[in-house]
Amino acid sequence: MPDIASHSLPTAADLAAPVAGNALWSVERAASPLIGTAIHNGHALRDEVAAVMGLDAAGRLREEDPFTAYAISDVPNRIVFHRSRFEIDLNRGAEGAVYLRPDQAWGLDVWAKRPADDLVRRSLDVHAAYYAMLGQTLTAIAAEHGRFVLLDIHSYNHRRAGPDAGPTPEAEAPQINIGTISMDRARWAHVVDPFMDSLRGFSFRGRPMDVRENIAFEGRGEQTRFVHANFPDSGCAIAIEFKKFFMDEWTGAPDPEALAAMRAMLAASLPVLLDSLRAST
């Protein structure tokens, strides 16, 4: 069983690449059927959103997915969203993509004052533009390769009771949660099962990785739904939630060794995914 702690550690520059202030997303396109996305990696807000935002930066960061862009560094095709999910949540349908009520946002009071309708519309325009871009990108990849796998990378909190309180019990919080509810599971079993086995084949700090399916989350997000609705025969979108063992979810401080582990696991899974796709053609 490989030990992923031996891989090189990320530097501060690796984890905080500069992003232009008006950037929406970045796309790295390659000649490959494998795509990695980090659509909750972003933290930025456009000025009009920041002016009425009630949450401070630390409060937003706690519910964002920092460092997920780093985790997909070795996936050939990469899409990273640079805006905060508190501006627009790409993993929700348009009707819920702007959090207008606390019950849409973990009970948080997101806004200092309710955003104007025009502000909300401009945020929803970004949502629509993203999915137009994603559809075009995946159409091209499907035409070139026949089938593709999209790794939809997220993370989740497991110390919600506070920084000094105990974590969520491990029975309810795997280190890696694979969400498959939106896919035709039987159609894509030949891809998903070897992928999960690959992740389980690593140890971290002396323990095998705990990889389970549809425990903490079931993969009901908008991006995987979009892929399976629009590419039912060619697209396999796997929702992957890393428990925030790779950072302090209250301070935002990264754990470089754990981040190296995340990246190494995903990198090692890529040949497995390619072999699975080739076996199905």
Is the separation of the CB atoms in 154 and 219 below 8 Å? no
Look at residue 20 in the predicted model and tell me its pLDDT.
Answer: 76
Cα–Cα dist 251/219, whole Å: 27
Kindly give the interhelix angle for 256-279 and 189-200, rounded to the nearest 10 degrees.
150
Residue 45, C-beta contacts closer than 8 angstroms, at least 6 positions apart: 53, 83, 84, 86, 87
Per-residue pLDDT of the chain (281 residues), as tens digits, is 565 554 689 887 788 767 877 999 999 999 999 999 999 999 999 999 999 999 999 999 999 999 999 999 999 999 999 999 999 999 999 999 999 999 999 999 999 999 999 999 999 999 999 999 999 999 999 999 999 999 999 999 999 999 999 999 999 999 999 999 999 999 999 999 999 999 999 999 999 999 999 999 999 999 999 999 999 999 999 999 999 999 999 999 999 999 999 999 999 999 999 999 988 65
Which pTM does this prediction carry? Answer: 0.95
> Domain segments of the chain: what residues?
4-279
**In 10 A of CB 227, how many CB atoms?**
26
CA distances 100 to 120, 189, 198, 201, Å, are 9, 38, 40, 42
What is the assigned CATH class of domain 4-279? alpha beta
Residue 273's pLDDT is what?
98
Cβ-Cβ contacts under 8 Å for 34 (sequence gap 6 or more): 75, 76, 77, 148, 149, 151, 270, 273, 274
